[in-house]
């Protein structure tokens, strides 16, 4: 379960890291509610594994993100996994301030749940059910490594914004500190290139996508000989494609790819819509 799940968590983090808010939404504390709904298709090489949906509700500076996914192989005959996840907190001019994070899964005869709470940038409580027997070789997570670390969904509110609708490679200049409840790691992004993307009926994407190279930098909470860590830490082939959202200064994920020992795991956006009053105007 962990082999599949660690890649799914990393993909979810990449999906969320760049889903930034328009500046007006981030600063306004009294604005109307807005919903952003994004759907993604997940594939392993040429095989479809399932899909994931994220719904972000914004009310002034408060945010709540809810996600649900269904992954299966051969209609669930070989593998069937259902997941839910949620995160809440505030967006400030300095970045996100998460307050809660939850993730649960069931499938393959296994189930579990993880919960974290935060206060002023620090993790104050962590609950994992069932508790896993820790490998004595694991590098322990220190308290100082958790200061400022984001849960995988709160990483969505890193303010990767640009007024350039034609593919600003500067949005790739980010290092995202993440703690998923077990692993503490950084995602180091750097610009690669930009490419034209055709507008599709199911999305609002057009113009250009910027391609960011992603380096997975493990810090603690893992065993040095973990094969999943080795695959992700030593590859240069992890990419996230970001596209500008028309009428805003937002850049959102369009496509992701992550090499695994089973093949190329990829995620592609299938739909995107904004509901309510997003006040979607580029920042001055």
Span 96-116, mean pLDDT? 86
Distance, CA of 123 to CA of 144 (rounded, Å): 11
% residues pLDDT > 70 (the chain): 75
Of the chain, the end-to-end C-alpha distance in Å amounts to 47
> Apex CA 63: angle with CA 70 and CA 24, to 5°?
125
Encode pLDDT of 160-198 as tens digits.
556 677 778 888 888 888 898 889 999 898 999 998 887
Tokens 């799914």 belong to residue: 8
pLDDT at 3: 47
Side-chain-side CA neighbours of 259 within 13 Å: the count stands at 14
pLDDT at 240: 87
pLDDT at 77: 56
Span 209-232, mean pLDDT? 89
Encode pLDDT of 13-29 as tens digits.
555 444 444 444 444 44
Distance, CA of 163 to CA of 174 (rounded, Å): 17
pLDDT at 283: 31
Number of Cβ within 10 Å of residue 190's Cβ equals 13
8 A C-beta contact, residue 52 and residue 69: yes
Mean pLDDT, rounded, of the chain = 77
Structure tokens that stand for 9 in this block: 């968590």
Please indicate whether residue 35 or residue 236 has the higher confidence score (pLDDT).
236
Number of Cβ within 10 Å of residue 271's Cβ equals 16
% residues pLDDT > 90 (the chain): 12
Span 210-230, mean pLDDT? 89
8 A C-beta contact, residue 268 and residue 38: no
8 A C-beta contact, residue 22 and residue 283: yes
Residue 52 predicted with pLDDT over 70: yes
Span 63-76, mean pLDDT? 78
Residue 204 predicted with pLDDT over 80: no
The SS3 assignment for 266 reads: strand
pLDDT at 213: 92
Encode pLDDT of 224-268 as tens digits.
888 878 888 888 899 988 887 666 666 778 888 888 777 888 888
Q: How confident is the model at residue 219 (pLDDT cuts 50, 70, 90)?
A: very high
Number of Cβ within 10 Å of residue 174's Cβ equals 18
Residue 284 predicted with pLDDT over 80: no
Distance, CA of 77 to CA of 74 (rounded, Å): 5
Distance, CA of 27 to CA of 71 (rounded, Å): 37
Structure tokens that stand for 254 in this block: 């369009």
Q: How confident is the model at residue 39 (pLDDT cuts 50, 70, 90)?
A: confident
Q: Identify the helix (H) or strand (E) that includes residue 235.
A: none
Structure tokens that stand for 266 in this block: 């990829």
Tokens 């180091």 belong to residue: 188
pLDDT at 206: 61
8 A C-beta contact, residue 255 and residue 266: yes
Residue 9 predicted with pLDDT over 70: no
28-55: string of b/e by CB count within 10 Å (b at 16+)?
beebeebebebbbebbbeeeebbbbebb
Nearest to 66 by CA among 153, 132, 179: 153
Residue 144 makes CB contacts below 8 A (sequence gap 6+) with none
pLDDT at 164: 73
Distance, CA of 101 to CA of 115 (rounded, Å): 6
pLDDT at 282: 31
């Amino acid at each position: 379960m962990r082999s599949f799940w660690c890649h799914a968590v990393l993909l979810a983090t990449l999906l969320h890291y760049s889903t930034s808010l328009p500046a007006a939404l981030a600063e306004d504390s009294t604005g109307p509610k807005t919903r952003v709904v994004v759907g993604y298709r997940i594939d392993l090489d040429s095989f479809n594994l399932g899909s994931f949906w994220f719904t972000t509700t914004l009310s002034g500076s408060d945010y709540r993100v809810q996600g649900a996914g269904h992954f299966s192989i051969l209609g669930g005959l070989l593998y069937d996994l259902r997941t839910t996840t949620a995160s809440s907190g505030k967006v400030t001019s300095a970045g996100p301030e998460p307050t809660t994070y939850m993730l649960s899964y069931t499938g393959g005869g296994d189930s579990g749940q993880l919960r974290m709470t935060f206060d002023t940038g620090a993790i104050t409580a962590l609950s994992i059910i069932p508790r896993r027997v820790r490998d004595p070789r694991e590098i322990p997570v220190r308290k100082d490594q958790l200061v400022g670390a984001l849960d995988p969904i709160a990483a969505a509110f890193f303010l990767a914004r640009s007024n350039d609708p034609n593919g600003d490679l500067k949005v790739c200049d980010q290092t995202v500190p993440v703690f998923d409840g077990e692993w503490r790691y950084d995602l180091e992004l750097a610009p690669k290139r930009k490419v034209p993307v055709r507008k599709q009926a199911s999305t609002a994407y057009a113009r250009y996508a910027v391609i960011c190279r992603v380096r997975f930098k493990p810090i603690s909470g893992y065993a040095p000989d973990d094969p999943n860590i080795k695959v992700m830490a030593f590859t240069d082939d992890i990419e996230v494609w970001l596209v500008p959202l028309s009428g805003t200064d937002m850049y959102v994920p369009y496509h992701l790819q992550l090499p695994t020992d089973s093949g190329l795991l990829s995620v592609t956006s299938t739909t995107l819509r904004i509901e309510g009053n997003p006040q979607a105007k580029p920042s001055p």
